[in-house]
Structure 1
Amino acid sequence: MSFSRSPATLQNWSGSVLAVGIAANDPQGLIGQLEARLNSPLGTWLEKQRFQAKAGEVVSLQLLHKDLSRLVLVGLGDATTADEPTADVATLRQAAAALAKACIGLDGRAGVHLPWGSDGTRTAEAVAEAIRLSLYRDTRFRSQPEPRLQPEHFDLLGDLPADLSGALERVDAHCAGVELARELVAAPPNNVTPAALADTAAAIAAEHNLELQVLERGDCAERNMGAFLAVSQGSDLDPKFIHLTYRSPGAIQTRLALVGKGLTFDSGGYNLKVGGAQIDMMKYDMGGSAAVFGAMRTIAQLRPAGLEVHMLVASCENMINGSAVHPGDIITASNGTTIEINNTDAEGRLTLADALVYASGLKPDAIVDLATLTGACVIALGEEIAGLWSEHDALADSLRQAAEQAGEGLWRMPMQASYREGLKSTLADLKNTGPRPGGSITAALFLKEFVEGGIPWAHLDIAGTVWSDKGRGLDPAGATGYGVRTLVHWICSQADQASA
């Protein structure tokens, strides 16, 4: 799929499908322009269809016209006026996703006319990204994929900067990272294993000249990663601790660490997932690792200056066999902290514990971890918003700004210090779970114990956002690739600050 700026207008553009954003009451008179182009009473027809241009409302017309096969109108709500022909980026993202889906069934070229606003470069980037991501589909595991026609090229029409090449290159990089994350999350657990994740890291490293180190079970034992290895010991598959590094050419101004939870399948262990626990969907318990893989794939293509970015994934399965960890076992993490396991289904935080200790040893300027960690976060924030925990305001604010730029929901949650009492163990330094109330907070407080040296750290609980059963907005049904774009915007903002 490709995009370009076109100098054509509504009056003379030709192709398979023309998609136009219309605001309520059509303050720009676009319907009149289209009536003149098509020589038809379009406005009268729209009145009969009761089209009110509400945000996201779509109508589609098949045309008997020599230069056009279909016209798609998408509502923008009250987003524009005649004096201010613009709309916020969030509205335009959703409009772009809606119009893209209305283009399905026709190949060739599509023209997209929207109110681009004063920052046309940013808006065009967001719109092109939304179109590509909303048309994504995964047919890898179908023996006979159903064919689908869709435009392969989109012309962006209207008042836009003459050169959009940089923006469109970013679109390609961003979408490639999101698509990788979606593929990893959606793939079944017999396909994406710890070894497969290590192979994916190797492929990224080879293609983009990154550094890669994969620690095997023995290597992890030498580093005293008792928490990570305890989770892995119930599986026949070997664990992999994956360390992928991007270094930009020239002087390094900022060092960052991304940590992703990498449970390629989570049975719950001896606290087996039953009933409504969706054990069949526990392939997506590596959604955090998918996000950091996708972000590294994108950063490797964009190559921001002045940065060193480390990706760390402690990957394994949480399974049951004669060697599996028991409820009540006491294990020791790599920083010497002893942990009483009172729930084997709270395993992700154990793998993250050793990964965070390792990340701290790299002495980065900031650490961000992403994990499908708690059902409590899903209950609190639903499926469109991830939770953010951090005691460092500057880091939290920069991540929230990055999420807003990316169009991904993110809400800061409290780090209530008094809840630390719930993690006290009679025998060990910590229990791995606290009481049920405030479960997502105690999970974050547990992770905090393994971030050393006062390094700014943030935890993103993405349990609700990595999967969409029915699809929403830019996300088709299935894996969403949540977190990739937020991380990329955040990393690039750190590069901008370093070069300022």
Structure 2
Amino acid sequence: MALSLSIRSAQPLELEADVTVFGVWAFDPSKKLPDAIKDVDRALGEGGLLALVKKEEFSGKPDQSLSIPTLGRVPGINRIVFLGLGDRASVKDPETRTFAARAARAALGDRAKSLVVVLPEGIEKHLRAVGEGIELGAYRFTKHLTGDRRPKEVLETVTFVLSSKKSGDGKADGKKDIALGQKIAFGVNLARDLSNEPANILTPAALANEAQKMAKANGLKIEIFDYKEIQKRGMALIDAVGRGSVNEPRFVHISYTPAKKAKKKFVFVGKGITFDTGGISIKPAQGMGEMKHDMSGAANMVGLMAAVAAVKPHVEVHALMACAENMPSGNAYRPGDVWPSLDGKSVEIINTDAEGRLVLADALAYGAQLEPDLLVDNATLTGACIVALGNTYSGWYANSEDAIRDFSDALKASGEQMWRMPLIEELREQLKSDTADLKHMGDRSGGSITAALFLREFIGKTKNWVHADIAGPATSDRATGWNAKGATGHGVLTFLSLIEKAG
């Protein structure tokens, strides 16, 4: 259920709320205290809060919070929370988004239905990030919970209080900025919902259907190839991966065309393995249940296009989803097999658990035929990337200086954690095969790099290409920043930033 958001200029302590959150810039507790703290101190009974601030050494740092029950001393407000924002000069959209998400989680932790968020002066130019953060922070995947497990209270209304009646862009109020931020967050949360959905429900066909629902709701064009069409078009690598399951593969092409002439054309590709057993090269049982998230790259495509429809950039955007279920059966593909590809290159299969790069290869070849200015793929591709960078950073690769510059700029704006990795040409030797044009994987060492080098073989004449290996941060075991526990939608905000900067 979407939050009901509003914005007001009012005295914060006069607004009723289960929880009222004050954003606080960094300050020196030994000198002048922020007005918000002094106002609350007077309301609670002078002196007590000031003493608590000093005892807890609360100074408005970004990781600090101070929560105080009002015990009836402030009529209509049950709890007051101070959240540190850090140094005012260094706070941009990512920091603001994190603050708003923390505010939402503070309300959820107190089982609040209503929340007031008091925005300090200077944050008005980041109101879109506020709208994004509040909705992202309030996200919970509770669809399948019943009875006592289902949350009894949910956050319903959020009121933002501004110190000024004007937002940073000069409008009479910031409603449009916050509303747009909320719509963008809906896109990220849609990606999260799809990734969190169990694989018995979200089959390749069901994932394609969800993409169709989103496209129809947002006036976007969509094509869905069923198994016969996949075979007819020569997408043999998608065929190979998906043929072991009774749930047949799907290929999805969503497109957005701006009303005015497009400045550029971008194509995004997502891996959509709705469940990955490893196939014949079957995975160990431990942790296999998490393989429902192996379609996070494709889920990001659905969420991204919902956000694109909200922003309406002057860029032509295409999102491609290669969807399959990797299962062992009498019809499954095998190590040692040789399969053709849409690109025309033949591929020797080494390990059927490296299926993601195969479906991406056909999708990239299809995307290259669209002749984009930039081709971007994202996938929960390799454990090697997690070994290299941990669970909170994804790795990314690029084939040109222009792609490196543009993607780096998009990352700075989004605040998502990604680290550029090298395309080491010497490792290309590991992909040489005696029986086919290519092996589809190399040695264990440098596994994320050889996966990227394999994918590069299928981008055709595309001058600007980026590969994002999101295996680590696509999911999280706890809520942090604006990320939720479970699926995070990692990548959507960066891809959207990339599009907006171009259009």
Deviation, structure 1 residue 475: 2.0
1:133 to 133, 136, 152: 136
Structure 2: unaligned runs, 5 residues or longer = none
Aligned to 1:32: 38
Q: Kindly provide the amino acid, as one letter, of the partner of residue 299 in structure 1.
A: V
Superposed, which structure 2 residues align to 1:257-406 within 5 Å? Answer: 257-274=267-284, 276=286, 278-305=287-314, 307-406=315-414
Aligned to 1:70: 79
1:48-89 Cα distance to aligned partner (Å, 9 max, x none): 445454432222111122243221112334x24xxx6x7344
1:98 to 98, 102, 118: 102
> CA–CA distance in 1 between the matches of 2:416 and 2:425?
28
> What secondary structure does 1:103 align onto?
helix
1:203 to 190, 208, 213: 213
2:233 equivalent to 1:186: no
Does the aligned pair in 2 maintain the 1:56–1:98 contact within 8 Å? no
Does the aligned pair in 1 maintain the 2:12–2:161 contact within 8 Å? no
Deviation, structure 1 residue 247: 1.2
Does the aligned pair in 1 maintain the 2:129–2:178 contact within 8 Å? no
Deviation, structure 1 residue 424: 0.8
Q: 1:229 to 1:452 in 2, by over 3 A?
A: same
Aligned to 1:464: 472
Deviates more, 1:364-373 or 1:161-170: 161-170
- TM-score normalised per structure 2: 0.91
> What secondary structure does 1:422 align onto?
helix
Deviation, structure 1 residue 464: 0.4
Aligned to 2:238: 228
Deviation, structure 1 residue 209: 1.9
Q: 1:120 to 1:28 in 2, by over 3 A?
A: farther
> What secondary structure does 2:5 align onto?
strand
2:422 equivalent to 1:414: yes
1:125-177 Cα distance to aligned partner (Å, 9 max, x none): 22332222111111111122121243512213224514213312321221110
2:127 to 117, 124, 129: 124
2:229 to 189, 196, 219: 219
Q: 1:474 to 1:430 in 2, by over 3 A?
A: same
Does the aligned pair in 2 maintain the 1:214–1:240 contact within 8 Å? yes
Q: 1:312 to 1:320 in 2, by over 3 A?
A: same
1:345-372 Cα distance to aligned partner (Å, 9 max, x none): 1111010111111111111111110100
> CA–CA distance in 1 between the matches of 2:100 and 2:219?
34
> What secondary structure does 1:428 align onto?
coil
> CA–CA distance in 1 between the matches of 2:10 and 2:76?
13
Deviation, structure 1 residue 461: 0.5
Deviation, structure 1 residue 24: 3.8
> CA–CA distance in 2 between the matches of 1:90 and 1:285?
26
> CA–CA distance in 1 between the matches of 2:294 and 2:488?
13
Deviates more, 1:371-380 or 1:214-223: 214-223
> What secondary structure does 1:342 align onto?
coil
Paired positions, count: 486
Q: CA RMSD, aligned part only?
A: 2.0
1:243-266 Cα distance to aligned partner (Å, 9 max, x none): 111112132332111110011011
> CA–CA distance in 1 between the matches of 2:119 and 2:403?
34
Q: 1:49 to 1:411 in 2, by over 3 A?
A: closer
> CA–CA distance in 1 between the matches of 2:359 and 2:51?
62
Does the aligned pair in 1 maintain the 2:112–2:153 contact within 8 Å? no
Q: 1:237 to 1:112 in 2, by over 3 A?
A: same
> What secondary structure does 2:161 align onto?
strand
Deviates more, 1:132-141 or 1:50-59: 50-59
Does the aligned pair in 1 maintain the 2:135–2:182 contact within 8 Å? no
> CA–CA distance in 2 between the matches of 1:151 and 1:233?
45
2:153 equivalent to 1:148: yes
Q: Kindly provide the amino acid, as one letter, of the partner of residue 341 in structure 2.
A: A
Superposed, which structure 2 residues align to 1:79-94 within 5 Å? Answer: 79-80=87-88, 87-94=91-98
Q: Kindly provide the amino acid, as one letter, of the partner of residue 162 in structure 2.
A: L
> CA–CA distance in 2 between the matches of 1:28 and 1:43?
9
Deviates more, 1:153-162 or 1:266-275: 153-162
Does the aligned pair in 2 maintain the 1:400–1:410 contact within 8 Å? no
Deviates more, 1:477-486 or 1:11-20: 11-20
> CA–CA distance in 2 between the matches of 1:62 and 1:457?
52
2:158 equivalent to 1:158: no
Does the aligned pair in 2 maintain the 1:58–1:98 contact within 8 Å? no
Does the aligned pair in 2 maintain the 1:360–1:455 contact within 8 Å? no
> CA–CA distance in 1 between the matches of 2:478 and 2:209?
31
Deviation, structure 1 residue 446: 0.2
Deviates more, 1:185-194 or 1:143-152: 143-152
Deviation, structure 1 residue 303: 2.0
Does the aligned pair in 1 maintain the 2:10–2:161 contact within 8 Å? no
> CA–CA distance in 2 between the matches of 1:17 and 1:489?
32
Does the aligned pair in 2 maintain the 1:116–1:124 contact within 8 Å? no
2:495 equivalent to 1:487: yes
2:64 equivalent to 1:57: yes
Deviates more, 1:409-418 or 1:217-226: 217-226
1:389-432 Cα distance to aligned partner (Å, 9 max, x none): 00122222222222232221111111111110111112211111
Deviates more, 1:342-351 or 1:140-149: 140-149
Percent identity, please.
37
- TM-score normalised per structure 1: 0.92
Q: Kindly provide the amino acid, as one letter, of the partner of residue 33 in structure 1.
A: D
2:30 equivalent to 1:21: no
> CA–CA distance in 2 between the matches of 1:384 and 1:43?
37
Does the aligned pair in 1 maintain the 2:27–2:33 contact within 8 Å? no
Q: Kindly provide the amino acid, as one letter, of the partner of residue 331 in structure 1.
A: W
Q: 1:427 to 1:192 in 2, by over 3 A?
A: same
Aligned to 1:498: none
Q: Kindly provide the amino acid, as one letter, of the partner of residue 182 in structure 1.
A: R
Superposed, which structure 2 residues align to 1:237-252 within 5 Å? Answer: 237-252=247-262
Aligned to 1:436: 444
Deviates more, 1:22-31 or 1:366-375: 22-31
Q: 1:351 to 1:318 in 2, by over 3 A?
A: same
Structure 1: unaligned runs, 5 residues or longer = 496-500
